[in-house]
Chain A
Amino acid sequence: MVEQKLIREDELSLVYGETYRPGSFKEQLKEMFTPKYLAFLLKPGAEDEELNRRDFEMNKFKTKRSLIRRLNSPLTILGGLIVFIICSWAVFPHWLSFIPFKDVAISILPGTNRPPSFEHPLGTAAFGRDVLGRLIWGARRSITLSLASIVVSLVGGVIFGTIAAYKGGWIDNLIMRIADIVSSIPGLILLVIIVSVMGYDLQNILLALGLLGIPGYARLMRSAAISQRAMTYVESAKVSGASEWRIMFRHILPNSMSLILVALSFDIGTAILGLASLAFLGFSQTDAVEWGFDVNANKSALINAPWAAIWPGIGIVITVMGFMLLGDGLRDALDPRSKV
């Protein structure tokens, strides 16, 4: 009888004697700071035969590696960088811009519509306000409003969507009908109307934006939940005695999240644009520091001072782009099969 010999994975090293075995912690640290290894680590797309192989062998079964490695793409990093900068403007405007809030928003200073100079790197707008300052302070409103409204949309959408999907029947029908009605009126029009009804305060605009986004997320959540519902793990959860709520929120929800996460990142961009459009049309507070409002207000001075109207727009574009790049990268990382 012939002996059947199995060479197990961990015995490979015995047979070959040349597989890489990491040494002690100190040795590893020493190795990390060699230029070869650093280049391999930091440069995206760097390849080295030996290090590649070691890397591969060490992390064969770690799937986390692939996620982070995919997020390594240059465009996604750019997106992340942009988002980081804008958010820092939103959170710490008084540290990053050397102009106090009142000078940017409230006071009326001499020197209206001055061209860019050393004091005012991007020029001044109406009432002598610094364009760069308004750009930095304006980030706050855009980011907070859009993020907060997204949260409102998300929470509402998730709740309604999951309920509709799981309960079915007339509840499902009713929720979907209302969603149809809300989504068949063009967004901007409905937004304008609701904001006119509720007034131009911060929280009202937030609420309005949030409400408008609920049908979209509800539908998304519902379709994801319906497709998950049929899967066997729901049945097995039921068999083991889980209650309805538990099934909904602890089993179905996490699996539908990846779809939602991707839609989220794009919706932040849309929310920012919507906010800017609203401000441009004049449906927000006149004393707020808002990019869209700036574009509108300085539109009339376009011939003399184009910088006043153009730079806030650039701010909008770059912010939205940053979020979209981040969203693209996230989508590629979470679902490598989808291609953009």
Chain B
Amino acid sequence: MSLLKYTVRRLLMTIPILFGVIFITFILSHMMPGNPFLKPGQFIKGNPEYVRALLEKHGLNDPIIVQFLKYLKNMLQGDWGESLIVSKGIPVWDLIKVKVPVTLEVGIYALIISSILGIRTGVYSAVHRNKPGDTIIRTVALLGVAMPVFWLGILMQYFLSIKLGLFPTIRISTIGYDDPIRITSFRLIDSLLTGRFDLAIDTAWHLVLPVFALSFLQVAGLTRYSRSSMLEILELDYVRSARAKGCKERDVINKHALKNALIPIVTIIGLRFGGVIGGAILTETTFNLKGMGMLFVDAVNWRDYFVINGLVFITTFVFIVMVVFVDILYAVIDPRIRY
């Protein structure tokens, strides 16, 4: 079947999965003990009657199925509910609109840096196999993969920020700086576009530590993966033929071997792009950036149902769409796969 049909079919297949995800998150979030207005272990503020009335008002006393169907119906119409306790009264969709760019900013910068760097180091490591450079890179990569992000963040906070005072510890802007006009809602890009270079520098200064922490982990993983992929390719016969033709070593690696090795690597990078929203929870809590991760943790703690559902849905949606996209990409760039 043609590529278009395949794409459409795959996208259609994601719909039942998405439905399953919404269903499961809904059920699970409502199964959490407590409710937004009364966490277990909390002292009762006011009478239980008041709490029940509040629940009634927001439709949280109906049977689960009814609630679910109502939620589904509203969701399809664009109304994802409103936050009950974390940011009282603000619609979930607006919350997402505000918080997602913060997460995306850190995530995407880290992803871009780590993709380029990771592939380069992996290739270098594969080409100079078993030499001192390779051993160093492998050790560092292993360390990077074994590190928890928050620990690396804390380490950097301590040494670079507290001891040496080079970078700020938390937040994305020092107090007193205002926000640039929203064009892309990416703080750095917006400030550059509106010409506010002081803001841009300040944002960049704040972003260095979180982006570094996040990308270090990703670079480590990508280095290991591209190293093994590249090693496999470098043994193959056509690399030897390219050398026998008289190609320069540089061309053999970049034009012949890398093109082949890049195919699985690109798919991995694509999947990482899909998981960018959900992948920054730990970084955000360490550096106190007001993004999706922190919102999620707070929402779960306070049982803010609609926020939880909305966040999980959008994260999963982006991821699943990216998976389909990556599959199609794989078929496009590998000429051996043709529909």
Task: Tell me whether A and B are bound partners.
Answer: yes
Q: Is there an interface contact between A189 and B312, defined as CB atoms closer than 8 Å?
A: yes
Q: Is there an interface contact between B154 and A196, defined as CB atoms closer than 8 Å?
A: no
Nearest-CB distance from B179 to chain A (Å)?
Answer: 27
For residue A318, which residues in chain B have a CB less than 8 angstroms away from its CB?
A: 146
The complex places the Cα of A316 from the Cα of B147 at a distance, in Å, of 7
Q: Which residues B141-168 have CB closer than 8 A to chain A?
A: 142-143, 145-148, 150-151, 154-155, 157-158, 162
Residue of B nearest to A195 (CB): B300
Q: Is there an interface contact between A189 and B315, defined as CB atoms closer than 8 Å?
A: yes
The complex places the Cα of A299 from the Cα of B285 at a distance, in Å, of 11
For residue A317, which residues in chain B have a CB less than 8 angstroms away from its CB?
A: 143, 146-148, 151
Q: Is there an interface contact between A192 and B296, defined as CB atoms closer than 8 Å?
A: yes
Nearest-CB distance from A301 to chain B (Å)?
Answer: 11
Question: Beta-carbon contacts of B217-238 to A below 8 Å, as 1s and 0s?
Answer: 0000000100110011000000
Given contacts A186-B319, A317-B146, contact A339 B157 (CB under 8 A): no
Nearest-CB distance from B227 to chain A (Å)?
Answer: 7
Stretch at the interface among B26-34, B58-66, B184-192: B26-34
Q: Is there an interface contact between A277 and B150, defined as CB atoms closer than 8 Å?
A: yes
Given contacts A184-B316, A193-B29, contact A295 B150 (CB under 8 A): yes
Residue of B nearest to A273 (CB): B148
Q: Is there an interface contact between B154 and A295, defined as CB atoms closer than 8 Å?
A: yes
Residue A218 at the chain B interface, CB threshold 8 Å: no
Given contacts A184-B17, A197-B28, A321-B142, contact A292 B148 (CB under 8 A): yes
Residue B195 at the chain A interface, CB threshold 8 Å: no
For residue B158, which residues in chain A have a CB less than 8 angstroms away from its CB?
A: 302, 306, 309-310
Q: From the candidates B145, B228, B279, name the one contacting A339 in the complex (CB within 8 A).
A: B228
Q: From the candidates B33, B155, B278, B323, name the one contacting A313 in the complex (CB within 8 A).
A: B155
Question: Beta-carbon contacts of A278-292 to B below 8 Å, as 1s and 0s?
Answer: 001110000000001
Given contacts A185-B25, A295-B151, A321-B142, contact A177 B20 (CB under 8 A): yes
Size of A's binding interface in residues, CB under 8 A: 42
Residue A41 at the chain B interface, CB threshold 8 Å: no
Residue A68 at the chain B interface, CB threshold 8 Å: no
Given contacts A186-B319, A189-B312, A325-B142, contact A313 B157 (CB under 8 A): no
Given contacts A193-B300, A321-B143, contact A185 B150 (CB under 8 A): no
Residue of B nearest to A309 (CB): B154
The complex places the Cα of A97 from the Cα of B286 at a distance, in Å, of 30
For residue A177, which residues in chain B have a CB less than 8 angstroms away from its CB?
A: 16-17, 20
Residue B320 at the chain A interface, CB threshold 8 Å: yes
For residue B20, which residues in chain A have a CB less than 8 angstroms away from its CB?
A: 177-178, 181
Residue of B nearest to A304 (CB): B162
Q: How many A-B residue pairs have CB under 8 A?
A: 129
Q: Is there an interface contact between A185 and B282, defined as CB atoms closer than 8 Å?
A: no
Residue A29 at the chain B interface, CB threshold 8 Å: no
Q: Is there an interface contact between B308 and A340, defined as CB atoms closer than 8 Å?
A: no
The complex places the Cα of A292 from the Cα of B285 at a distance, in Å, of 13
Nearest-CB distance from A277 to chain B (Å)?
Answer: 6
Q: Is there an interface contact between B282 and A281, defined as CB atoms closer than 8 Å?
A: yes
Q: Which residues A18-52 have CB closer than 8 A to chain B?
A: none
Q: From the candidates B146, B162, B227, B281, name the one contacting A189 in the complex (CB within 8 A).
A: B281
The complex places the Cα of A339 from the Cα of B154 at a distance, in Å, of 34
Majority secondary structure, A binding face? helix
Nearest-CB distance from A319 to chain B (Å)?
Answer: 8
Residue A303 at the chain B interface, CB threshold 8 Å: yes
Q: Is there an interface contact between B281 and A281, defined as CB atoms closer than 8 Å?
A: yes
Nearest-CB distance from B228 to chain A (Å)?
Answer: 5
Given contacts A196-B32, A302-B157, A303-B162, contact A188 B281 (CB under 8 A): yes
Q: Is there an interface contact between B320 and A277, defined as CB atoms closer than 8 Å?
A: no
Q: Is there an interface contact between B155 and A310, defined as CB atoms closer than 8 Å?
A: yes
For residue B24, which residues in chain A have a CB less than 8 angstroms away from its CB?
A: 181, 185
Q: Which residues B110-165 have CB closer than 8 A to chain A?
A: 138, 142-143, 145-148, 150-151, 154-155, 157-158, 162
The complex places the Cα of A276 from the Cα of B24 at a distance, in Å, of 25
Q: Is there an interface contact between B28 and A313, defined as CB atoms closer than 8 Å?
A: no
Q: Is there an interface contact between B224 and A199, defined as CB atoms closer than 8 Å?
A: no
**Taking each of B25, B146, B162, which has the highest tally of chain A beta carbons within 10 Å of its own beta carbon?**
B146
Residue A253 at the chain B interface, CB threshold 8 Å: no
Nearest-CB distance from B314 to chain A (Å)?
Answer: 11
Residue A269 at the chain B interface, CB threshold 8 Å: yes
Residue B275 at the chain A interface, CB threshold 8 Å: yes
For residue A324, which residues in chain B have a CB less than 8 angstroms away from its CB?
A: 142, 145-146
The complex places the Cα of A244 from the Cα of B231 at a distance, in Å, of 40
The complex places the Cα of A196 from the Cα of B224 at a distance, in Å, of 34
Residue of A nearest to B161 (CB): A302
Residue B331 at the chain A interface, CB threshold 8 Å: no
For residue A340, which residues in chain B have a CB less than 8 angstroms away from its CB?
A: 138, 224, 227-228
**Taking each of A178, A186, A292, A302, which has the highest tally of chain B beta carbons within 10 Å of its own beta carbon?**
A186
Residue A320 at the chain B interface, CB threshold 8 Å: yes
Given contacts A177-B16, A310-B154, contact A302 B25 (CB under 8 A): no
The complex places the Cα of A320 from the Cα of B296 at a distance, in Å, of 27
Nearest-CB distance from A7 to chain B (Å)?
Answer: 37
Nearest-CB distance from B182 to chain A (Å)?
Answer: 27
The complex places the Cα of A187 from the Cα of B77 at a distance, in Å, of 29
For residue A199, which residues in chain B have a CB less than 8 angstroms away from its CB?
A: 33
Residue A151 at the chain B interface, CB threshold 8 Å: no
The complex places the Cα of A184 from the Cα of B300 at a distance, in Å, of 19
What 4 A-B pairs are tightest by C-beta distance, nearest first? A313-B151, A186-B278, A320-B146, A181-B20
Q: Which residues of B contact A (CB under 8 A)?
A: 16-17, 20-21, 24-25, 28-29, 31-33, 138, 142-143, 145-148, 150-151, 154-155, 157-158, 162, 224, 227-228, 231-232, 275, 278-279, 281-282, 285-286, 296-297, 300-301, 308, 311-312, 315-316, 319-320, 323
- 11 new A-B contacts at CB < 8 Å, known A185-B25, A189-B296: A177-B17, A181-B17, A181-B20, A184-B17, A184-B323, A197-B28, A280-B148, A292-B148, A295-B151, A302-B157, A313-B150
Q: Which residues of A contact B (CB under 8 A)?
A: 177-178, 180-181, 184-186, 188-189, 192-194, 196-197, 199, 269, 273, 276-277, 280-282, 292, 295-296, 299, 302-303, 306, 309-310, 313, 316-318, 320-321, 324-325, 338-340
